[in-house]
Structure 1
Amino acid sequence: MENQGLRKCLHVVLVPAPLQGHISPMLQLGDVLHSKGFSIIVAHTIFNSPNPSNHPEFIFLPISDNLSDHDTSPGNLLALFKSINKNCEEPLRQSLAHIMHQQELGDRVVCIIYDQIMYFSEAVASHLKLPCMNFRTISASFALAYKEIPRLLAEGYIPRQNSMLQDLVPGLFPLRFTDMPTDIGSLEDVIENMELSINTRNYSAIIWNTVDHLEQTALAQFLQPRPVQLFSVGPLHKMASPSSTSLLEVDTSCISWLDKQAPRSVIYVSIGSLAFMEEKELTEMAWGLASSGQPFLWVVRTGSECDSEWKLLPKGFKETIGERGCIVKWAPQRKVLAHDAVGGFWSHCGWNSTLESLSEGVPMICWPCLGDQKVNARYISHEWKVGQQFEHELERNAIKQAIRGLMVNKEGENTRQNAMDIMEKIRFSVNKEGSSYNSLNGLAEFISSFQLSK
């Protein structure tokens, strides 16, 4: 176990899933709970382990995961989740039992907060007679869509013929069948994972990294069939300290490049930590960005090792764009989106990226790749109307038109204004007496009540 010895205080155990989009909000939750006076123990897998030096105030507890190369191979997420839940229950139980045996008078492990993917934590909590809470790093809208898959299967709506994929899903407006999260494995595997991760039984509360005014309707559905405490405490990155939560090395040189650009002129392009572009897609994106006329900051990642991201791009591209483009392997995204020069975000629409963009009033071009991203993209474009969905083949002229349509042309005016309006609502929610501010205080009081009940 790393970090200093345990202090006399209330210890909250966090169990993050070992994916970038899940680790970041869990560490941010730890940061805000630490600011409320709790000691934070981060129980993490060896695979994709966070960097303890970025959070010296936390106690990091590595958990043996015994994952194979097959388990951690790209595109094998459901197998990864299954192996983690099979392998990590006993190591976590033993480690926490040891800590609880050592705790002194006044010290107490009061609860476990676990990512919904890490559902083995519930069995550990039950064995150790600890309360536990389920932390959802996804949108409530996605969780609701995911939860409805068995109903849609039973009623014969899925699987759906290709000719009917554009039909609206009954009871899930504005989602179409093509937006449903059935593309991460076989239907049988998806349903099995859903039943284990979403429909867990004995947690005391659900914590959501979301905002009430964005997802009020979806959140209300999780009060059924049994009432449960809900705490909507997002966007957590707006309330946490700016410590790095990235698993990848960040290139901060792009910030000085942004400083030289005109306000709201830059299109930022990043499709997240899991997806990669193929060579043809890279070429079309490159020339689409070049012909758009807009300055651009582009995160270029491929599945191959390369000492320079420029080597992956078409011949003559660098000379064509000159200083108008900045290309990096990974960017400090929260700083980028908060920068005055950024006026648009070409995004995969992961939930963290969505919240970070909405929080800064940056409208989006939605190009979802996998998992929850299609649901998020549909809400961004058709419910909140702060983005435009890109559903064409990735072709340079369509890319150019999408960028200019969002950032420059009259057709994007309403989208740009809607993004600014939602930004103001989010800022109000995290300020004193806002919904997320109050919910976070309620969560701290709820955790403290576990001490009194023992």
Structure 2
Amino acid sequence: MANSDRAERGHHSSQKPHAIFIAYPLQGHVIPSVHLAIKLASLGFTITFINTDSIHYQTLKAHGKDATSEDIFTSARNSGLDIRYMTVSDGLPVEFDRSLNHDQFMLSLLHVFSAHVEQVVGKIVKQSNETVTCLIADTFFVWPSKIAKKFGLFHVSFWTEPALIFTLYFHMDLLRKNGHFDCNNVRDDPIDYIPGVHQIHPKDVMSYLQDADTSTVVHQIIFNAFQDVRAADFVLCNTLQDLEPDTIAALRAHLPFYAVGPLFPAGFTKSSVATSLWSESDCTHWLSTKPKSSVLYVSFGSYAHVSKKDLIEIANGLLLSNVNFIWVLRPDIVSSDNVDPLPVGFREAVRECGMIIPWCCQIEVLSDPAVGGFLSHCGWNSILESLWCEVPLLCFPLLTDQFTNRKLVVDDWKVGINLSDHKNITKDDVSRNVNRLMGRKSCLKFVNAIAEVKKLMGGAWTTDGLSQRNMDSFIEGLEHKSRQVKGRITQ
């Protein structure tokens, strides 16, 4: 289907699809959700996007905007996209410290949030001037299929991580049956029986599948979410089919699973849609003073924490390496109670070669010519952005999917290296591997490998690209289901 045909269908169809979209209230999930909402709106959807009150107020405050009169899609609407916006309580006060009180936050999402969602979805369905078609909700929610069914909506599950991680969670029953998860004397030999996965070592599965205690609130969320997703009408995944073909082919035996990544809107390196939860520092002037590919960008994302011991080793290793670096050190990186965990005198020692900031627009930094490497926690958004900007990765996974993402980056695609091959990192590990990543000879090898991946990413959304074709198939499937339902109603 040509792009002009898609636009024609979107702007002139009398049966314009209307999707209610609910993003998981963590920044790493909100970002691709916003990008998917923009993509669908550009293809002719009406989107009603729902953020939590907490995410809404934190985002608008970080960007110096009035949270009572503006929202993150104001400029998108001004450009002609039909994106409406609402907020809903996650069950906790807006000012509640969700980072410091992680389990209470997760318990609220598990037990309380759905009641607020059900109320607002019911109101939208009842008051909307057009028929609402579907509910798009993050796969980690435990309730979407039930709420979608109650209001007669199709359930579209949105998976923000690689297909490999989805299929490992989806096949937890096989991991249990074979003794690799949730049992006494867990096996530590390679896992080679998951459909579409050649082989994976237990140390490379998600941290929650490595835990001995599976009674936590996060495990309850995962178990319930991956029961709920089995009832989804469609699953959209922010990955590339070309990068995970076997895994995706195997998943399609169980679910209508569509790889539609990377979900980057046009011009996203200068995006006017606010998604950052913290005020962003401007690094452009400092970067302009540095030679091409000489700067290491360091960031451990928006959510996971680093131990003070590891953070001190990383700081001392950067000092030893003598490289230029930008280090994003968010205030709660160790804990909300420890706002400056760096070694005494470190800031002064790196004043010439280092820039230490609380937050920045990551894609702007990665796309700057001065940046030649990324020391990353291996969050999926960070990996996709780094690959798009052709910046090789130095991997330091901390939590959840990051261990599995590291395997893809280092072992499968060979576009990065490990910060350390040992459990405990040292400053010497850090210095050696930073210089290895940034060294001219080894860097060239990674740049060549990344160029091949970037070629796949660049082709995914061309007219005949796999992500574009998968999106077309999803929309056609949604329209077909809608016609079937209308046919039954009119009979």
Query: Do these two structures clear the TM 0.5 threshold for a shared fold by scoring above it?
Result: yes
CA gap of 1:357–1:238, structure 2 versus 1, over 3 A, is farther
CA gap of 1:78–1:154, structure 2 versus 1, over 3 A, is farther
Aligned length: 441
Q: TM-score, normalised by structure 2?
A: 0.81
Q: Which residue of 2 aligns with 1:258?
A: 287
Decide whether the 8 Å contact of 1:174 with 1:378 is kept in 2.
no
C-alpha distance in 1 between matches for 2:398 and 2:249: 28
C-alpha distance in 2 between matches for 1:163 and 1:401: 34
Q: 1:138 aligns with which of 141, 148, 161?
A: 161
Q: Which residue of 1 aligns with 2:406?
A: 377
Q: Which residue of 1 aligns with 2:299?
A: 270
Q: Which residue of 2 aligns with 1:12?
A: 19
CA-CA distance at 1:205 after TM superposition: 0.8
1:55 is the counterpart of 2:82: no
Aligned AA for 1:345? F
Decide whether the 8 Å contact of 1:210 with 1:234 is kept in 2.
yes
Q: 1:30 aligns with which of 22, 32, 37?
A: 37
C-alpha distance in 2 between matches for 1:98 and 1:366: 45
Decide whether the 8 Å contact of 1:81 with 1:117 is kept in 2.
no
Q: What whole-Å deviation, never above 9, does each CA across 1:253-302 have from its counterpart, x for those lacking one? A: 21222222222111111011112334333332222112212211111134
CA-CA distance at 1:219 after TM superposition: 1.2
Residue 388 of structure 1 aligns to a residue whose secondary structure is strand
Aligned AA for 1:318? R
C-alpha distance in 1 between matches for 2:184 and 2:114: 40
1:418 is the counterpart of 2:436: no
Q: 2:144 aligns with which of 99, 110, 121?
A: 121
Q: 2:225 aligns with which of 194, 197, 206?
A: 197
Q: Which residue of 1 aligns with 2:468?
A: 437
CA RMSD of aligned residues (A): 3.1
Q: What whole-Å deviation, never above 9, does each CA across 1:345-373 have from its counterpart, x for those lacking one? A: 11111111111111121111111001100
CA gap of 1:363–1:445, structure 2 versus 1, over 3 A, is same
Q: 1:395 aligns with which of 426, 431, 439?
A: 426
Decide whether the 8 Å contact of 2:373 with 2:393 is kept in 1.
yes
Decide whether the 8 Å contact of 1:277 with 1:301 is kept in 2.
no
CA gap of 1:294–1:120, structure 2 versus 1, over 3 A, is same
> Within 5 A, what are the aligned runs for 1:4-403?
10-49=17-56, 51=60, 53-56=71-74, 57=77, 58-67=83-92, 73-74=98-99, 80-104=105-129, 107-158=130-181, 165=188, 167-171=189-193, 172-183=197-208, 186-189=213-216, 192-200=220-228, 201-225=230-254, 228-239=255-266, 241=268, 242-303=271-332, 312-390=341-419, 391-392=421-422, 393-403=424-434
Q: TM-score, normalised by structure 1?
A: 0.87
CA-CA distance at 1:159 after TM superposition: 5.7
CA gap of 1:338–1:432, structure 2 versus 1, over 3 A, is farther
CA-CA distance at 1:136 after TM superposition: 0.2
C-alpha distance in 2 between matches for 1:409 and 1:158: 42
C-alpha distance in 2 between matches for 1:119 and 1:93: 13
Structure 2: 5+ residue stretches without partners: 1-13, 61-69, 78-82, 487-491
C-alpha distance in 2 between matches for 1:162 and 1:405: 38
C-alpha distance in 1 between matches for 2:245 and 2:261: 13
Structure 1: 5+ residue stretches without partners: 1-6
Decide whether the 8 Å contact of 1:368 with 1:377 is kept in 2.
yes
C-alpha distance in 1 between matches for 2:256 and 2:185: 40
CA gap of 1:229–1:170, structure 2 versus 1, over 3 A, is closer
C-alpha distance in 2 between matches for 1:73 and 1:91: 18
CA-CA distance at 1:114 after TM superposition: 0.6
Q: Which residue of 2 aligns with 1:406?
A: 437
Q: What whole-Å deviation, never above 9, does each CA across 1:63-95 have from its counterpart, x for those lacking one? A: 2332389x9754876764453243233332332
CA gap of 1:161–1:98, structure 2 versus 1, over 3 A, is closer
